[in-house]
Each structure stands twice: as C-alpha cells, then as structure tokens.
C-alpha cells in the first residue's frame, strides 16, 4: 500500500514537470514569435535618412539593400514615408529650389507709340522752363524788365547764349511787326522759334540696316553718372518692342558691377550678353567677340556698352576710339550714341564735343529730363554739334525711354 502511494506521487510529480516544461516551451515560442513580428514591423523604418537608397540609386539596388526577401512589402512601406515627407515640408524645399535657379520671366516691353504718348504727358506735367516763361507771359503787356526775365529764363534753361540771343531778337522783331503784346500770340511765336531751332524735320531714326547678312551695331558712350548702362538696357527693350533680335556687349570691363547690371537687363529683356570673365580685360576684345557672336547667331543689332570715360582722360578716350576701330573691322558701326545727363547743362556740351572728336557721334540720348528746367540742352547740343537728339529718358522705369518727338517736346514746354 505504501509502495503504491509512492509511485502515484512520483507519477503526479512527473506529470507536473512535463506540463510545466510544455507551458514554458509555449511561452518561449510565443515570446519568440512576438519578437520576430515586432522586428518585422520595425524593419521598414530603418531607412530614416532624408535620402533613402530607394531615391538615390537604381530600383534593384534599393530592393537588395532593404529587404531582398520581402521586397514588395518593404517597398510599399518605404514609399509611405516619402509621401508623408512631401506633405510635411521636405518636398516644399524641393519645389522651391528649381524656382531659385530659374531665370525670371521675360518682361514684355511697352510698345513705342504707347511709351511716346505716356512720356509726352509726363513731360507736360513736369513743366521744365516752360512754366517760368508762362508766368512771365501771363502778366499781359510785357515791359523791358519782362523781356530781360524771359532772356534770363532761357539762359538758365541751358538754351545757350547764341540760341537765346537768336530767339529774343526774332521774338521782339516779330511782335513789333505784328504790333502785338498779347501773351498767347507771344507764346505762339516763341513756340515757332523753339521748333525752328530744334528742327522737327531732322532725321532722328536709328539707321540699323544689315549689310550682307551681318548685324547692325550701336556703340554707346558717355561719362560716369549719366545712366549709360541703364540706357543700354532700356534701348534694348525699345528695339525688342520693335521686333529686333538684339545682343548686348559688356565692354565696360573696369567695373564688374557694370557687366552684372547689363546681364540683369539681358535677362529681363530676353537677350544674350557677351562679357569677359576677367575684370580689366581689353574692352576692344569684348566688343570684337560680341560682334562675332552676333554674326554667328544672326541677330539684328549688337548693342555695345562702354566704360564711363571722363572727357579729360586722353588715354581712355583713345581706347574708346580703338573700340570703334576694332568693331569696324568686322561690321560697320551704324550708330554712336552719346548718353548725356540733362541736368549737367553746359558741362554736358563740353562732354559732347570731346566725344564727337574721338568717335564721331551720330545721335544724343538725353537722360533725367523729367522735372528739370534744363531742357534747353536739347537746343544747344544740336546747334553746336549738328547731331540730333534721338531718345529721351523721363524717369527711372524700365520703359521710360522713347524716341525724341520735337513737336511734343516744345508743346510740353510751352503748354
């Protein structure tokens, strides 16, 4: 009886051990499965860098690096973070980067007739020396003191001594012959005299005929501070508005800022710019390269900017003459335009004379004519040089340059 009890206890103990072992094994198995599943769930989160292999390399390499045994599942889960990143902000940066390196959209230039009408109205509002003359004429009967005041006003407006003398003599003579002191009639006579000196019949067009398929060329000259480089950009817009294909040459190699400024204008207008990578390079060489590229690309006009050379620097003026000679070896120089600041008055006249001797200027571009009483420079510069004013600038806007209209100019002064 005792032996049986002992055996039964031993069997029970054995059963307990077996059951415990089985339970322990099950727990271990369950824990192992849980760990494995947890590892599989976390496995696709490994590529957490901003640029995972699936983006940088070929698709095959990305699959091998991530999960060759479960490529489909891994790829599906890897693409989800990319979509999330596109929504969160990294894709925003990717969208901004192309905008930073893309050139600004080309601006459409204002048509020439439109800008002429707008600038004529602006000149009329600015008044110039015409306002001072009208105040004198509005007094009624003109006394000797009034006549002297008219003469002083013309001189202060930089009409020039000889031109002023001619205007005053004719004005007094005609009013005496007609026996009138009526302000409106005096103003009308004054308008006629100014028009005669400015000469509405003068040829103010740009002669840009192409010869044997070569492009026409324009050389822009002028001293520092006149707005020459800006005028080159504005003139390019005028030519583009008229349907011409234009190329710019940055021959002002002494100032890197000048070439950069011209480059910016080229991007705005949509034209190419030829420039030197080296500051202080030979300006004549840059002008030569610009002409050659113009011939290769079949443009209509090559517009060459030059350094703002002081009229008392003979060496620099000689170099300017060299630029013109070098350009002439490739194509005829159709126009040499001198950019003058209208506010410089008679000093601008001296500049014009020196440039005319060196380069043989064919036309004048007057800048900063808005809001100034120095409009008489138009008369004096044409009278002294026999060269017409072809363009005027009446503001700082990109389209504030227009062909000079003699009648509109005089009407605005005497309105």
**Residues in binding site for GTP:** 222-229, 305-309, 367-370
Residue 158 contacts residue 380 (beta carbons within 8 Å): yes
Rounded to whole angstroms, the Cα distance separating 227 from 10 reads 114
Q: What is the DSSP letter of 195?
A: H
Rounded to whole angstroms, the Cα distance separating 301 from 307 reads 20
Instruction: Calculate the CA 57 to chain-centre distance.
Output: 41
**Strand 335-341 relative to strand 216-221, pairing:** parallel
**Token duo for residue 36:** 């494995």
Asked whether the CA dihedral 103, 296, 241, 308 is positive or negative, the reply is positive
C-alpha pair distances (Å), 374 with each of 136, 162, 191, 337, 413: 18, 16, 17, 20, 11
Tally Cβ neighbours within 10 Å of residue 9. Answer: 10
**Token duo for residue 84:** 């999330």
Phi then psi for 366, rounded to 5 degrees?
A: -95, 120
Residue 378 contacts residue 94 (beta carbons within 8 Å): no
- Residue 155's contacts (CB-CB under 8 Å, 6 or more residues apart) are 161, 164
Edge to edge, what strands does the sheet with 246-250 contain?
A: 272-274, 246-250, 301-305, 216-221, 335-341, 363-367, 389-393, 401-403
Rounded to whole angstroms, the Cα distance separating 169 from 171 reads 5
Rounded to whole angstroms, the Cα distance separating 212 from 217 reads 14
Question: Which residues make up each annotated binding site?
Answer: 222-229, 305-309, 367-370
Rounded to whole angstroms, the Cα distance separating 198 from 193 reads 9
């Amino acid at each position: 009886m005792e032996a049986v009890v002992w055996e039964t206890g031993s069997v029970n103990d054995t059963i307990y051990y077996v059951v415990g072992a089985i339970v322990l094994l099950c727990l271990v198995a369950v824990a192992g499965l849980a760990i494995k599943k947890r590892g599989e769930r976390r496995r696709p989160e490994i590529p957490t860098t901003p640029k995972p292999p699936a983006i940088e390399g070929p698709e095959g390499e990305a699959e091998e690096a991530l999960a060759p045994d479960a490529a489909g599942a891994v790829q599906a889960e890897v693409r989800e973070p990319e979509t999330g990143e596109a929504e969160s902000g990294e894709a925003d940066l990717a969208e901004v980067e192309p905008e930073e390196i893309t050139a600004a959209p080309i601006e459409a230039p204002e048509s020439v007739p439109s800008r002429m009408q707008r600038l004529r109205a602006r000149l009329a509002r600015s008044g110039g020396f015409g306002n001072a003359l009208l105040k004198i004429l509005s007094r009624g009967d003109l006394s000797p003191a009034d006549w002297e005041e008219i003469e002083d006003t013309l001189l202060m407006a930089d009409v020039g001594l000889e031109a002023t003398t001619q205007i005053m003599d004719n004005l007094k003579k005609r009013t005496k012959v007609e026996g009138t002191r009526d302000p409106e009639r005096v103003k009308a006579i004054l308008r006629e005299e100014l028009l005669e000196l400015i000469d509405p019949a003068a040829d103010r067009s740009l002669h840009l005929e192409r010869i044997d398929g070569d492009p026409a060329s324009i050389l822009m000259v002028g001293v520092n501070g006149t707005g020459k480089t800006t005028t080159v950009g504005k003139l390019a817009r005028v030519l583009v508005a008229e349907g011409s294909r234009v190329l710019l040459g940055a021959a002002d190699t002494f100032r890197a800022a000048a070439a950069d400024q011209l480059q910016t204008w080229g991007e705005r207008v949509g034209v190419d710019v030829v420039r030197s990578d080296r500051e202080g390079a030979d300006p004549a060489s840059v002008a030569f390269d610009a002409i050659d590229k113009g011939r290769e690309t079949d443009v209509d006009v090559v517009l060459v900017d030059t350094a703002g050379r002081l009229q008392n620097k003979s060496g620099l003026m000689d170099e300017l003459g060299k630029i013109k000679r070098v350009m002439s070896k490739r194509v005829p120089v159709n126009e040499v335009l001198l950019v003058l600041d209208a506010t410089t008055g008679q000093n601008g006249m001296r500049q014009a004379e020196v440039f005319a001797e060196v380069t043989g200027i064919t036309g004048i571009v007057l800048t900063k004519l808005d809001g100034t009483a120095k409009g008489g420079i138009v008369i004096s510069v044409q009278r002294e040089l026999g060269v017409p004013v072809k363009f005027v600038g009446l503001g700082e806007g990109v389209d504030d340059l227009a062909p000079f209209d003699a009648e509109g100019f005089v009407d605005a002064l005497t309105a």
